[in-house]
Amino acid sequence: MYMYFPTNYVWSMAVVASLNNGGYIDDIDKACRPVLEASQRGDDAGTAELYASWEAVIDRLVASAEDDESRGRLLGASEKYYRASLYTSQAERLQSPKWEGRLAAYQRSMDLLQKYVDTGDIPIRRVEIPYEDSSLPAYFRWVPNATGPVPLVILWNGLDSTKEMMVYSGFAEQLAKRGIATLMVDCPGAGEALRLRGLTSRHDTEVWAKAIIDWVETDLPEADSSKIGLVGWSLGGYYAPRAAAYEKRVKLVVAWGANYNWAEVQRKRLAREGENPVPHYWDHVQWVFGADSMDDFFERTKGMTLEGVVEDITVPFLITHGVGDRQISVDYAYAEYEHAINSPKRELRIFDQVEGGAEHIGIDNMPYVAAFTADWVAETFAEMG
């Protein structure tokens, strides 16, 4: 993986994610060069300073986009709003949950993405999915010119990603080219659901899978509810297989990163084994799960393992993983595949260093991993008739 910050994996991962999702190297260099020295103080120190450096680039982009928009140059404006949203999202992701500017920064990433959609006439709309006493916010990416209901992929994020990052990834575009719609959901514990609605995560993810599919069946006529797939990346690689094991309306499932035993990974991280995905890690996970202490966090997440769960998956199941994943060992991918014995079509795809995609969720070559996954999904839906 390209290590812009040679001693800082977490900050460098934000750079790589930006570059792989449509960011410009000159923008990113302008945003990062002023904080090269700060990056050497560790993951946690200097993240607010990092945000300020990125914000200067973001502000210039927004001003240019607004000027384009005032002149009727909507496509140029749309592209700039996209990059500004992308950079805001990556910089916000690195902040402490206790940083006072965090909610405003996240809201700005959403607002800028909506400007991208509106000025560029992008086939994406916001939707709300009833869940308990609240709702789960999501983006629906439809298939233009479809003549009837099409297969649907429900895409779930992980511990620290958002539905906006799902849009940036281009995965929904890959699926649309193959005639498949995408519903990109901020699950409890992530994105807008966590930040603005206080919905925290839980281990029994089939609960929110049921709520989402109930809504699809009644309120999303563009989707063929007999062909619903579930894809989850990073911690979503636990969320999605768990849900598919117990919510049988899911017809295929992808673990985009084999989070086979996330509870065990937390004990390893406590022992400083492997890399954390974000700075301020222990504050972040307590925020995600609504825990008020480390003991409470470990109690709430003790059930987060797929041991004894993947055996109940009875639909096609793809596991992708990077051989050099520094967060989740590739050993978990082999274990998960070995135990998914009741899937009628199980496949394990390990991405290596030569081809790329070897890092966590293939972040070092994400479009490549996304295209492979989209092909597998399309082929598997086609095999269903």
Range of the structural domain that residue 319 is part of: 123-383
By three-state DSSP, how is residue 365 classified? helix
Q: Is residue 272 part of a domain?
A: yes
Final residue belonging to a domain, choices 58, 86, 118 = 118
By three-state DSSP, how is residue 21 classified? coil
In a 13 Å sphere around the CA of 54, the CA atoms on its Cβ side amount to 29
Euclidean distance between CA atoms 166 and 182, whole angstroms: 10
- The answer to whether residues 177 and 279 belong to one domain is yes
Q: Is residue 4 part of a domain?
A: no
Rounded to a whole number of angstroms, the CA Rg of the chain reads 20
What is the full per-residue pLDDT of the chain (385 aa) written as tens digits? Answer: 999 999 999 999 999 999 999 999 999 999 999 998 888 888 788 899 999 999 999 999 999 999 999 999 999 999 999 999 999 999 999 999 999 999 999 999 999 999 999 999 999 999 999 999 999 999 999 999 999 999 999 999 999 999 999 999 999 999 999 999 999 999 999 999 999 999 999 999 999 999 999 999 999 999 999 999 999 999 999 999 999 999 999 999 999 999 999 999 999 998 888 888 999 999 999 999 999 999 999 999 999 999 999 999 999 999 999 999 999 999 999 999 999 999 999 999 999 999 999 999 999 999 999 999 999 999 999 999 8
CA dist 64 to 61, 69, 71, 342, 381, Å? 5, 9, 11, 54, 43
User: What is the pLDDT, as a whole number, of residue 42?
Assistant: 80
Euclidean distance between CA atoms 217 and 214, whole angstroms: 5
Euclidean distance between CA atoms 289 and 199, whole angstroms: 9
- The answer to whether residues 169 and 203 belong to one domain is yes
- The answer to whether residues 34 and 86 belong to one domain is yes
Q: Is residue 3 part of a domain?
A: no
Euclidean distance between CA atoms 73 and 80, whole angstroms: 11
Final residue belonging to a domain, choices 94, 118, 142 = 118
Residue 318 CB contacts under 8 Å (≥ 6 apart), including other chains: 252, 253, 254, 255, 346, 347, 349, 373, 376, 377, 380
Q: Compute how many other C-beta atoms are within 10 angstroms of the C-beta atom of residue 114.
A: 17
- The answer to whether residues 84 and 182 belong to one domain is no
Do 320 and 290 form a contact (C-beta atoms < 8 A)?
no
Lookup: tokens for 181: 């719609």
Beta bridge partners of 231: 155, 254
Q: Is residue 375 part of a domain?
A: yes
CATH number at residue 344: 3.40.50.1820
What is the total count of domains within the chain? 2
pTM of the predicted model, to two decimals?
A: 0.96
Tokens 């995560």, located at residue: 201
Instruction: Specify the long-range contacts of residues 214-217, CB closer than 8 Å, at least 24 apart.
Output: 215/129, 215/130, 216/152, 216/154, 216/183
Q: Is residue 2 part of a domain?
A: no
User: What is the pLDDT, as a whole number, of residue 92?
Assistant: 97
Edge-to-edge strand list for the sheet holding 223-233: 124-131, 134-141, 181-185, 150-156, 223-233, 252-256, 317-322, 346-351
Nearest one of 224, 210, 198, 214 to 287, comparing CA atoms: 198
- The answer to whether residues 15 and 62 belong to one domain is yes
- The answer to whether residues 210 and 317 belong to one domain is yes
Euclidean distance between CA atoms 164 and 191, whole angstroms: 8
User: What is the pLDDT, as a whole number, of residue 276?
Assistant: 87
Dihedrals phi, psi of 134, to nearest 5 degrees: -135, -145
Q: Is residue 1 part of a domain?
A: no
Q: Is residue 37 part of a domain?
A: yes
Euclidean distance between CA atoms 235 and 19, whole angstroms: 22
Euclidean distance between CA atoms 54 and 330, whole angstroms: 33
Final residue belonging to a domain, choices 72, 93, 118 = 118
- The answer to whether residues 26 and 142 belong to one domain is no
- The answer to whether residues 358 and 243 belong to one domain is yes
Q: Is residue 67 part of a domain?
A: yes
Beta bridge partners of 183: 140, 154
CATH number at residue 112: 1.20.1440
Beta bridge partners of 152: 181, 228
- The answer to whether residues 324 and 223 belong to one domain is yes
- The answer to whether residues 244 and 277 belong to one domain is yes
- The answer to whether residues 91 and 142 belong to one domain is no
Residue 142 CB contacts under 8 Å (≥ 6 apart), including other chains: 123, 124, 125, 176, 181, 222
User: What is the pLDDT, as a whole number, of residue 296?
Assistant: 97
Do 250 and 225 form a contact (C-beta atoms < 8 A)?
no
- The answer to whether residues 49 and 128 belong to one domain is no
Residue type, 131: Y
User: What is the pLDDT, as a whole number, of residue 36?
Assistant: 87
Euclidean distance between CA atoms 268 and 264, whole angstroms: 6
User: What is the pLDDT, as a whole number, of residue 385?
Assistant: 87
